Homo-oligomer: A and B are copies of this chain.
Amino acid sequence: MKRFLDLADFERDEVLSLLELARRLEKQPEPRALAGRILGLVFFNPSLRTLASFQAAMARLGGNSFVITPGAGSWQVETRPGVVMDGAAAEHVREGIPALAAYCDALGIRAFAAGKDLASDLAETAFNAMASLIDKPLINLESAVNHPCQALADWKTLDDLAVPRAGRFVLSWAYHPRALPLAVPAAALHMAALRGMEVIVLRPQGFALPDAIMERARRAAAASGGSLRETAEREDALAGAEVLYVKEWGATECYGDSEADARLRSRLTGWCVRDDWFTIASSECRLMHCLPVRRNTAIADAVLDGARSVVQREAYNRLPVQMAVLHRMLKP
């Protein structure tokens, strides 16, 4: 496996095999598997779980890692092609990324959505521009519209908890003070579809996921025996749900227009997940969220601290699934 950029790049069986490897590494540690190997981590955006879990994953397998944060300790980096660099950025990704790739055996890059032009973000313009510069193994640490490591950890979480393959998986929008990227909802959607679940996207008017993301997930669902639909009605979505996967994202109707987005979301503070959301769900219904989450804004304390919440298991699972990715990618 040379690149881990998108769960959609893999067949269902390949994902299952990665998850099996993750479980094996949980039970049978391989503390020298990646001895001498180096992972470079580049963060254009903040990180807590991704940074710590990737450094830990390399260490657990006997390897090492380094961290570069452009603009904080390292140079501010330009990503646009062809620009006359007379502003704040001292370095261009065209120089910086290949140089970093030269110092490691695999590179991980985090680069959030620019959030201005939906077509450009859907095309992963910035991430792909960097990916095209290097031939080294590469891991997507969250790009404009993808977060495959989170999706893989979430899949393992569903398996760990024996959530039925055909169970109802509701991906619900939640309130946040401002527009957040589509990366996690897109990745979670695709994951649940590829797992073969009955996937329902619950979101207010104006926040429908882009057609390209929905279409791709629909194809994955069809191939895996699952299904996908969307609704704005909570009761319609949550009846019998096995999983409520909560995420905040920006209005797609007015993508890149922060004022229009603010107007739309100002009426939606009621989309803070509370206990009563689960009344008609399965008695076993789990609450999932990739974290970080704003308490009492997106999800109420009582829900996050309640028995339904499996957000800590999702966070923990970042470690074994990333160990599996690194093992498959770098084990000699």
Interface residues of A (CB under 8 A from B): 29, 31, 35-36, 38, 40, 43, 46-49, 51-53, 55-56, 59-60, 62, 64, 66, 68-70, 72-75, 78, 82-86, 89-92, 94-96, 98-100, 102-104, 177, 291-297, 301, 304-305, 311-312, 315-316, 318-319
Contact = CB atoms under 8 A, between A and B. Distances in A.
Main secondary structure of the interface of A (DSSP, over half): mixed
B46 A296 contact: no
Given A43-B73, A312-B99, A66 B56 contact: yes
Contacts of A293: 91-92, 95
A193 to B, nearest CB: 26
Contacts of A102: 312, 315-316, 319
A60 B104 CA distance: 9
Given A52-B66, A73-B46, A82-B301, A294 B90 contact: yes
A103 B316 CA distance: 7
Contacts of A62: 36
A91 B48 CA distance: 10
B48 A85 contact: no
A85 B296 contact: yes
Contacts of A296: 82-85
A149 to B, nearest CB: 13
Given A92-B295, A99-B316, A103-B318, 18 more contacts: A40-B52, A46-B73, A48-B70, A48-B74, A48-B96, A51-B66, A52-B100, A53-B103, A78-B295, A82-B301, A85-B295, A85-B296, A86-B294, A95-B315, A96-B291, A99-B291, A102-B315, A102-B316
Nearest to A319: B103
Contacts of A64: 55-56, 59, 64
A171 B35 CA distance: 41
Given A64-B59, A72-B72, A82-B301, A98 B312 contact: yes
Contacts of A73: 43, 46-47, 51, 69, 72
B48 A292 contact: no
Select the residue from A60, A68, A102, A297 with max chain B CB neighbours within 10 A: A102
Return the 8 tightest CB-CB contacts between A and B, nearest first: A91-B292, A85-B294, A59-B64, A99-B315, A56-B103, A102-B316, A55-B66, A84-B296
A82 to B, nearest CB: 6
Nearest to A40: B52
B86 A297 contact: yes
A103 B294 CA distance: 22
28 contacts: A31-B36, A36-B60, A36-B62, A40-B56, A48-B96, A48-B99, A48-B100, A51-B74, A52-B103, A52-B104, A53-B103, A59-B64, A59-B66, A72-B73, A83-B295, A84-B295, A85-B294, A85-B296, A90-B292, A91-B291, A92-B292, A92-B295, A95-B311, A96-B292, A99-B312, A99-B315, A102-B315, A102-B319
A48 B83 CA distance: 21
A224 to B, nearest CB: 29
A31 B34 CA distance: 12
